[in-house]
Amino acid sequence: MLSLRNVAKTYPGVRALRGVRLELAAGEVHALLGENGAGKSTLIKIASGVVQPDPGAEIRIGGVVVEHATPRQIQELGVAVVYQNPTLFAELSVAENLLFGEDGAVISWRGRAAAARALLARIGAELDVERPVKDLRMAEKQLLEIARALGRKARVLILDEPTASLSQQDADRLLDLVEKLRAEGVAILYITHRLEEVLRLADRFTVLRDGAYIGTYPRSEVDRARLIQLMAGRDLAEMFPKVRVPLGETVLDTRALCHEPSGVDNISLSVRRGEILGLAGLVGAGRTEFARVLFGLSPATSGAILIDGKPVAIRTVGDALAQGLAYVPEDRKEHGVVEALPIAENISLPILRRLAGVWLEEPREEQLAAELSARLGVKAASIYVAAGTLSGGNQQKVALARWLATKPRVLILDEPTQGIDVGAKAEIHRIMGELVKEGLAIILISSELPELLGLADRIAVLRRGHLAGILSAEEASREAVLHLALEDNAS
Amino acid sequence: MTSLLRRHSREAALLSAIAALFLLPLFGVNGFYAVSTFRSLAIDNLPVLLAAAGMTLVIVAGQIDISIGSQFVVGGIAAGLLAKSGLPMPFVVLATIALGAVLGALNGLLVAAARIPAIIATLATMVLLRNGVLRATGGDWIQNLPAGFQWFGLPSGVAQVAYLAAAAALFGAFAWAMRNTSAGRAFYAVGCDHEAARRIGLNPSRQVVAAFAVLGVATAVAALLNFTRYPTIETNAGLGFELKVIAAVVVGGTAITGGRGSPIGTLLGVILLGSIGTVFTFLHVNPAWEKAIQGAILLVAVVADTAFRKESARG
């Protein structure tokens, strides 16, 4: 269906791709794997016409040779891309998003609504077609993107990290849908960092590394360890190396903490020095909401927060910082780093008041930023480049460095490894290990169960805003966590 | 029904406010409820309405144009000078509209091709055009216009009805096209998200230039309907015109961040903001209050918008 041969792409100063090939057959799920920066995004952009390859590439879609095609022309040949960040029109309705540009010059709104319902029914999604897309959940947006692609009669579907921001349950539903589409004969190119998913789904695997083609392998020839080795070019024997640290006294304690507007309901838990407390739960279970209460972003409506056993009032972020809390938020781009500012200024933001007497002492700022970014292994030309130009993994390290600069005692990490590559992920895990060794307490929110299971000393499972249970590392298993997260009747 | 009301809560609120405003003179004021009052209100607000229609498109596309006050007076002066040079009125109209399209497209190119933020680019053209006018005319009014210029040579009563009909037809067609044609929806798409628009095959730069050009045309038509009402053309006209227009669009519910808005909302915004002064005159309220009330309404609209956005973000 889709065939790319001898694809190269050179940007000024960078060879993003060289000698890459990819054959995608009808009724096949083909995984495209590689670390961030391996060239997956560039390859997708070339396949979808957003970027033109260097001369010499040979691209065929359904047997037709394609040269200098626009995104529109490629779409008309039946190739559709579902991007990691849904590219939908937030203010427009579901129906309009599904069928944009599919009508003639004049639009029939009634016809559109009917066509939209039919498309959604085909993938088993139930959505009000008149709702503006900004009101939808992330999982619903992903479904909408897929329905839109199918509405365009896509024969080739490129899914770019479709489950990166979905809960396990939503992700499972999406994977079921992918299998259904494969059975219908759609050719699917699947890009993900979640190896479990492609090991379950994919028929073949193509691996890129540093812009080069490493190889294409059938399912029978690979397993998890082999794939990681191919992607990393080195053996990562243990993905989640838990550092065992003797636990100290309790630092943070919550008693029946509630925040009614966001549904945080009666949560009591504690975390000790040197401990990594995992927070598990489906999307909407209240994990981020709980973190926001702790960090003073949405102050508790009732209940108590204790630091070192003493009740404290946390009404603002300033209070939380003063109590030694730090929060690295989920959405890197929106809340994690200021993309336009250089690394150094990003890191010094929360401690400006400490650095500044009457005016800002820039040498101190620079020294601190240099120390922290070296310690966390931020890969950048210097601490003066804009944070927005870094890769996802490096942006996350900058976000982390910023909060470490506040010298916190409790660090809350919200999806710290979402959508970043295997190498950067391992580094973030290594840093977490070092931090707990120094006596920091970490609350880790993650939708990736293996990560929680590998790293956490205990896992607190939330369900619909309340605490469903706490599992020790010994008790915790995939099944045990899911059981608590899903169970409907128990307390 | 409730969902219909929720989806059109801005329109409902504006209609209530307009109804309340027009009921005020019931209390002890004579002479307000006359055809002549409403006709002169309508004629006075036509130019703002037409420019606001174009501005709705530009703001929906995620841009803004603060140079339209200058474009407005340039359009009027061009029409006057062309008429004085002996050009027949139909050609004067066509030439003025063409000039409007060029001025608008120029703004669009500054924004889309030269990548200058719209507010800066149009601030520059606002000052440039305004000073150009001053230099060219020396500040003198344009007088001794040919007889066919004022009201296109028609008796003023007939002309007013014709202007109203023309504006209603133009506005109606524009509102319909913005909602119901693929070309109209493309501006919404671009205003929501450039990258997403690109990925479905639209060309955001071209859309931006088109939006500014349409606004230029709308402003030129507004200028024609405005300046042909008088026997002379004031070269300092149109000061603050852009503020009236943008205020009406924002009060009408168009999101200043782009992607959302409707010409119907804009129409209601123009009616509300444009009628306050007249109603106050009849109520013998100090006219100084007019601007203050208009400002307060604008503030309420923006605050309501923000509150609404927060609510839907949470839900």
**Structural domains in chain B, sorted by start:** 35-308 (1.10.3470)
pLDDT tens track for A414-469: 988 877 777 788 888 988 998 999 899 999 998 777 788 889 999 999 988 899 99
Residue B310: pLDDT above 60? no
For chain A, positions 12-51, list CB contacts with chain B under 8 A. 48, 50
Taking an 8 Å cut-off on Cβ atoms, the answer to whether B312 and A101 are in contact is no
List CB contacts (< 8 A) between B258 and chain A. Answer: 91
Are A2-232 and A250-486 the same fold in CATH?
yes
Phi, psi of A488 (to 5 degrees): -105, -30
Taking an 8 Å cut-off on Cβ atoms, the answer to whether B201 and A101 are in contact is yes
Average pLDDT in the B124-139 region? 93
SS3 of A138, please?
A: helix
Best probe of the B interface among A74, A87, A88, A93, by most B CBs < 10 A, is A87
Handedness of CA A279, A284, A285, A288 (dihedral sign): positive
pLDDT at site A380? 78
Average pLDDT in the A5-30 region? 87
Within 13 Å and on the Cβ side, how many CA atoms surround A324? 16
Residue B309: pLDDT above 70? no
Q: Which of A87, A90, A91 sits opposite B199 (nearest CB)?
A: A87
List CB contacts (< 8 A) between A87 and chain B. Answer: 193, 195-196, 199
Of all residues in chain B, the one with the smallest CA distance to A148 is: B200
User: Which candidate, B80, B83, B87, places its Cα nearest to that of B237?
Assistant: B80
Cβ pair A178, A115 in contact under 8 A: no
Cβ pair B191, B210 in contact under 8 A: no
User: Does domain A250-486 match CATH 3.40.50.300?
Assistant: yes
Distance CA A381, CA A439 (A): 32
Taking an 8 Å cut-off on Cβ atoms, the answer to whether B199 and A104 are in contact is no
Q: Is A415 left (phi over 0), alpha (psi -120 to 50) or beta?
A: left
Taking an 8 Å cut-off on Cβ atoms, the answer to whether B198 and A100 are in contact is no
Question: b/e string for A473-483 if b means 16 or more Cβ within 10 A?
Answer: beebeeebbbe
pLDDT at site A36? 61
pLDDT tens track for B46-66: 999 999 999 999 999 999 999
pLDDT at site A87? 81
User: How far, rounded to the nearest angstrom, does the alpha carbon of residue B176 sit from its chain's CA centroid?
Assistant: 17
Average pLDDT in the A162-185 region? 86
Q: Which of A87, A96, A109 sits opposite B193 (nearest CB)?
A: A87
**A289/chain B closest Cα distance in angstroms:** 11
Residue B313: pLDDT above 70? no
Q: What is the DSSP string of A360-384?
A: B-HHHHHHHHHHHHHHHT---S-TT
- Please tell me which residue, B95 or A347, carries the higher pLDDT value: B95
Cβ pair A403, A329 in contact under 8 A: no
Residue A86: pLDDT above 80? no
Continuous H helices in B24-155? 35-60, 68-84, 89-112, 118-137
Distance CA A145, CA A88 (A): 8
- Contact of A135 with chain B, judged by CB distance below 8 Å, is answered with yes
pLDDT at site A387? 83
Confidence at A489, pLDDT banded by 50, 70, 90: very low
Residue A119: pLDDT above 80? yes
Average model confidence (pLDDT) for chain B?
91
- Contact of B256 with chain A, judged by CB distance below 8 Å, is answered with no
pLDDT at site A13? 59
Cβ pair A175, A140 in contact under 8 A: no
Q: Which of B182, B198, B255 sits opposite A103 (nearest CB)?
A: B182
Best probe of the B interface among A89, A129, A158, A262, by most B CBs < 10 A, is A89
CA dihedral B218, B222, B228, B231 (to 10 degrees): -130
Query: How are beta strands A29-33 and A204-209 bridged, if at all?
Result: parallel
List CB contacts (< 8 A) between B7 and chain A. Answer: 130
Residue A372: pLDDT above 90? no
pLDDT at site B94? 98
List CB contacts (< 8 A) between A107 and chain B. Answer: 180-182, 185
Query: Which of A39-48, A301-310, B153-162, B168-177 shows the lowest per-residue confidence on average (mean pLDDT)?
Result: A39-48
Of all residues in chain B, the one with the smallest CA distance to A48 is: B199
* Percent share of chain A, pLDDT over 70: 93
- Per the document, the length of chain B is 315
Cβ pair B168, B251 in contact under 8 A: no
Distance CA B315, CA B313 (A): 6
Average model confidence (pLDDT) for chain A?
85
Taking an 8 Å cut-off on Cβ atoms, the answer to whether A107 and B182 are in contact is yes
Distance CA A80, CA A408 (A): 45
**Residue reference for tokens 């739960």:** A281
Confidence at A490, pLDDT banded by 50, 70, 90: very low
Average pLDDT in the A82-99 region? 87
Residue B120: pLDDT above 70? yes
For chain A, the domains span 2-232, 250-486
pLDDT at site B312? 52
**Report for A353-367, B121-135, B298-312: range of highest mean pLDDT:** B121-135
Residue B169: pLDDT above 90? yes
Q: Which of B185, B255, B315 sits opposite A100 (nearest CB)?
A: B185
pLDDT tens track for B260-277: 999 999 999 999 999 998
Of all residues in chain A, the one with the smallest CA distance to B257 is: A91
- Contact of B195 with chain A, judged by CB distance below 8 Å, is answered with yes
pLDDT at site A12? 66
Indicate the angle between helix axes B241-251 and B35-60, nearest 10 degrees: 80
List CB contacts (< 8 A) between A96 and chain B. Answer: 185
Identity of the residue numbered A409: R
Where are the extended beta strands (E) located within A210-289?
212-218, 250-259, 264-267, 270-272, 276-280
Confidence at A282, pLDDT banded by 50, 70, 90: confident
CATH code of the domain made up of A2-232: 3.40.50.300
Taking an 8 Å cut-off on Cβ atoms, the answer to whether B181 and A89 are in contact is no
- Please tell me which residue, A443 or A141, carries the higher pLDDT value: A443
Identity of the residue numbered A316: T
Widest pairwise Cα distance in chain A: 71
Residue B185: pLDDT above 90? yes
pLDDT at site A235? 44
